[in-house]
Amino acid sequence: MKVGDRQYRTIWVAGDGRTVEIIDQTELPHEFVTRRLTTLEDAAAAIREMRVRGAPLIGATAAYGVCLALQDDASDRRLDTARQTLLATRPTAVNLRWALDDMAARLKPLAPAARVDAAYARAAEICDDDVAVSRAIGEHGARLIDEAWAKGGREAPVNLLTHCNAGWLATIDWGTALAAVYVAHDAGVPVHVWVNETRPRNQGAGLTAWELGRHGVPHTVIVDSAGGHLMQRGKVDLCITGTDRTTARGDVCNKIGTYLKALAAGDNGVPFYVALPHTSIDWSLDDGVAGVPIEERDPAEVTTVVGRADDGSIVAVRVTPEGSAAANFAFDVTPARLVTGLITERGVCPASREGLLSLYPERGGDAGPQMAAPGNDDKTG
Ligand code: MRU
């Protein structure tokens, strides 16, 4: 996507062919800052501190983290260390494990001398694939938006509600939920987006609003608890969110608060769609509520809010009394029964095992009854 007059992806290799650059999302929406990652630890810290975030981008950053790790030592041992270090950064998005497994499977059979170039080539491929996949998700999702517009007589704008940031900042480009918005908007479908602020880190207020604003998409930021009210008043035509891990039977784990939006949508007959690339599907897991590791982050993200003061400085202010305990669960699971459909790069399907297998028949052997809960062995957070 364009920022100013320059086309950006969220992660890229610098001119030296080795250093990796990212957009530092902790600085948005107030500053647009890029940073260089030169070591494995830089990549791990960028994921941990959420300088990069969003499931597909976490996976891509981990792939480049492997590249950086191998530069001066491409041994099996170093490869294993890189995997462990990166896997321990954030536990919920399955794209992280997917990317690390993919890199290991391709690099391990090679002689160490061939690994560095192969690692950079594969990481670049993961990024290019993600762009193509996101764009395809956008095309499929935009059809649903167009149908909603047609249902309303192609007069009033389609009112969408989204949660967190599932836009281009969360992927390499385009996004997942927001890719549908961009494709529809670019095709002339009038869209207005209700943007949940997404406490505690405000990815909606800070990142989604920033993205939509730059793309010229009409949007309104609302507090997280406003969605139910808007749905009762008929002000939401459809909800589209992203996901960090979708199980083989279609349970969806996404940013905390997604489940409550799905409940409100169900109660009000508002379609609730979830957009995802194949890299966000955990074929080894069925029951998302029991099986997905939910990240718990620093309670300070709940007790304080970060923003820009009138004098331009970035400040953190406390919103709770000293001494009150706070808990910071970063994700929740929406059971498949509350999801109207999954929007993937291969099309839209019901949120069910049968639905997913109709689009990914090659996974038929993997998506059987729950296996030995490998979804839990990355419970590192
Ligand atoms: O904690 P975050 O900001 O990494 O959480 C991101 C989300 O919950 C997104 O909705 C999800 O990763 C899908 S991104 C296309």
Q: Which helix (H) or strand (E) holds 250?
A: none
Q: Which of 11, 95, 165 to mutate to test the pocket of ligand 1 (most atoms within 8 A of CB)?
A: 165
Indicate if ligand 1 lies below 6 Å from the C-beta of 295: no
Q: Please check the confidence at residue 376 and state whether its pLDDT lies above 80.
A: no
380 CA distance to ligand 1 centroid (A)? Answer: 18
Q: Please check the confidence at residue 88 and state whether its pLDDT lies above 80.
A: yes
**318: helix, strand or coil:** strand
Neighbouring CB atoms inside 10 A of 3's CB total 13
Distance of CA 191 to the CA centre of its chain: 21
Q: What percent of the chain is predicted at pLDDT more than 70?
A: 96
pLDDT given for residue 367 in this prediction: 58
76 CA distance to ligand 1 centroid (A)? Answer: 31
Identify the band that residue 80 occupies on the pLDDT scale cut at 50, 70 and 90. very high
Identify the band that residue 379 occupies on the pLDDT scale cut at 50, 70 and 90. very low
For range 142-148, the mean pLDDT: 98
Report DSSP letters for 158-173, one per residue.
Answer: EEEEE-S--SGGGSSS
pLDDT given for residue 55 in this prediction: 98
Residue for token digits 């409550």?
260
Single pTM value for the model: 0.95
Q: Which of 203, 259, 343 to mutate to test the pocket of ligand 1 (most atoms within 8 A of CB)?
A: 203
pLDDT given for residue 373 in this prediction: 37
Closest listed residue to residue 274, CA positions, set 323, 334, 327:
334
Do the bridges between strand 252-255 and strand 191-196 make them parallel or antiparallel, or are there none, so unpaired?
unpaired
Indicate if ligand 1 lies below 6 Å from the C-beta of 344: no
Task: Give catalytic status of residue 101 as yes or no.
Answer: no
Instruction: Report all structural domains of the chain as residue ranges with CATH numbers, in order of start.
Output: 2-128 (1.20.120.420), 139-363 (3.40.50.10470)
Indicate if ligand 1 lies below 6 Å from the C-beta of 171: yes
pLDDT in tens, 291-338: 999 999 999 999 999 999 999 999 999 999 999 999 999 999 999 999
Q: For all residues of the chain together, what is the average pLDDT? A: 95
Q: Please check the confidence at residue 370 and state whether its pLDDT lies above 70.
A: no
Q: Which of 26, 53, 92 to mutate to test the pocket of ligand 1 (most atoms within 8 A of CB)?
A: 53
pLDDT given for residue 368 in this prediction: 52
201 CA distance to ligand 1 centroid (A)? Answer: 11
pLDDT given for residue 160 in this prediction: 98
Identify the band that residue 4 occupies on the pLDDT scale cut at 50, 70 and 90. confident
- Set 244, 282, 332, 378: catalytic member: 244
Indicate if ligand 1 lies below 6 Å from the C-beta of 176: yes
Q: What angle do CA 57, 59, 61 make, to 5 degrees?
A: 70
Residue 200 preceded by cis peptide, ω within 30 = yes
